Structure 1
Amino acid sequence: MNEQVKPLPFDAERVRADFPILNQEVNGHPLVYLDNAATTQKPRAVIQALVDYYEQDNSNVHRGAHALADRATQKFEAARVKVAEFINAPEARQVIWTRGTTEGINLVASSWGRSNLKAGDRVLVSAMEHHSNIVPWQMVAAEKGATVEPIPVDVDGVLDLAALQDMLDERVKMVACGHVSNALGTVNPVEQVIRLAHGVGALTLIDGAQAVSHWPVDMQALDCDFYVFSAHKLFGPTGLGALYGKVALLDAMPPYQGGGEMIESVSFAGTTYNQLPYKFEAGTPDIAGVIAFGAAIDYLNQLDRAGAAAHEKALLAYAEERARATPGVRLIGTSANKTSVMSFLLEGAHPNDVGMLLDQQGVAVRTGNHCAQPIMEQYGVPGTVRASLAFYNTRDDIDRLFAALEKVRLFL
């Protein structure tokens, strides 16, 4: 039996060398990339997997009777197994390929929601949710006569569990909550949310888009009913994501889309649908993306993830310490339990102007409402400047952010 190779102790500088995009200048300055909550950069191994597929294995999956199709299919399904193991799903067939977190939520809202919600039912979502975990529920609720209601969030950006408990009753059929807020960085107590929801017979959907890149997630320990995330926020390619669901729920749900692959047989007398996971994967999938996502999982598995998480935690603490010491900077979202997101305002400056002036100095951040308008409205701000971290960021990146901010502050 081969012993599992122990990862080397985490070293951010060594890891940075695996990400070719970081080695460039922007506007005459070395790039400081602090927009990881929007999308993470890709290691060379992921980029090479895309190239290898198109140069060596390009073929459709599952249906071809030739070597290229066989190789592509084996790598495609091997990636599904890798993702299932990565999130500790009981079975690989519980991993459904989607175009991303947004489509995963839309799939559940459309398929499960249309089949199960009725007039008078309630869907609860946290007040800090991304629009993609609000709007799909509003759409199906309007169709079915159900309501979508926000779970309150306090001034620090912390979910009010006592309020959630008071809101729960037998009319609540779904509680949808982000694992981590993309706008604030708050790590939500999803284990408690799931337990409370299940206590009244409600199902749970957890948006894990901002969580999976920072620490291991465990579907069996969480016991959520659905979990969604995106490859491009997990050092993989864009346009791809995964939906995890419990088998009994997925089996009972009707297909989200019709077409090839999701059928077992078709006639004008009627159609028989395919088994899981293919029932929800109509049409030719993003084969290259799936295979490259598998390469991203391989890459992450050979890292010291505990060391990477500790590095990110220390970086965030350092960044927030610098922010509190900088005149005119106001932090938005100050939960004691945060990860890798620092949202802030600079006194007297619109966030968009700050972002453009930082870019002129090679510092890439995100500005605006971060597709989380309700929580921005609660804070009474049009948006924020968001610096978001990944394990390849360093203290030097933080120092350069604040050096650039000082120039912006003096310029304004």
Structure 2
Amino acid sequence: MKIAVIGSTHAGTAAVTNMANMYPEAQITVYERNDNVSFLSCGLALYVGGVVDNAEELFYSSPQKLQELGVTMKLKHDVKDIDTDHQTIKAQNLITGITVTDSYDKLVMTTGSWPIVPPIEGIQFENILLAKNYDQANTIIEKSKSAEKITVVGGGYIGVELVEAFEKAGKQVTLIDGADRILNKYLDPEFTDILEEDFKSRGINLALNETVKSFQGEYGFVKRVETDHNIYETDLVIMCVGFKPNTDLLNGKVDMLQNGAIKVDEYMKTSDPNIFAAGDACAVKYNPTGNHVYIPLATNAVRMGTLVAYNLMEPKMKHIGTQGTSGLHIYDWNMASTGLTDTSAQAGHVKVESVTVEEVHRPGFMPTAEKVKMKVSFDPLTRRVLGAQVISKVDVTQSINTMSVCIQSGMTVDELGFVDFFFQPHFNQPWNFINKAGLKAAQ
């Protein structure tokens, strides 16, 4: 059996590692544009900010490790065409320029995603950078050394993490986003307000509800960013406006969402029975609504990649869906969310009710007790839990993993009030704040 794998970051590496162990007789070939595999892009800001000194620590596998499993690694190879009728692929060696043709019995598409590059005037300037892979991280580090004023476009996770890294490095930072607040896809306003006030207190310029119209520069380098409201002087721009799936190779050949994300069934199979897909290239079942949506997260990718291996020969293990669970640490704040927020529910025309509790994380007689804010959203008819958010200066983010399980299992908000949690004064209150959210909803 010949298995061709295109792309090897999170999903690809997980699929290849498991397939090599499960099907030792198979001939597995990996085609990868870069000269490395498995880069943890979620650690990019930590690397840029100097929290992680050695970038090698952000790779959890290597071409050598995969080769030791008997996998043929075609690094620096760019796949140019897939003929699904004849089950062949054409790839160009980016070093020699030679094009090779290969056949497959099973094809695994783990091509991931790529940063969105809006068609903005001046986007081609040399010091306008993207933030996704290892090479881009190194370029950001190098160019930021001589930059005094840095502009980050996009207030999602990577954007705000880079803002923090640059501010800590003593840079003058401007964050531009077309939305009226940061992190609007993950948290509701009462949570993002806390972070925005912290950013402002540190001298970070928040240019929110502003759209970039053009980049202006001299001698090939950007010097100013023009929005629909202002002009900002800058020495360096980092674009973090989101990601799109890398799926052009299969356009018109398998079923996709409108944004190009590949649709897969619960066994990771596409509409072509010989093609499987996983990771940022795919849409995934979103349990709070039951719809297939695009949620590019490393956690989703490794699970999906592993399931490809399990189901490659026959359907064995179903994908149980995702809640889009994620967490973030910014300055002194720890935050996490899962499922629907009020904002995302409204955007998706889903009716939810929500309760918010504000507690201290452990009894007041302890030496310290930090404030915790948690919000739980639920279906007003079925009472089923649909989402949760938390923020605190103490790390209580694991509570969101608990809430993710509650959503996945279909728990009601009323049941949430009486879930059995331990009590120990070092860690929590006799009534856990998760319980208190359920009790408040039941009133």
Q: Normalization by structure 2: what TM-score?
A: 0.28
Q: Which has the higher contact order (CA 8 A, sep 6+)?
A: 1
Q: Normalization by structure 1: what TM-score?
A: 0.29
Bigger share in helix: 1
Bigger share in strand: 2
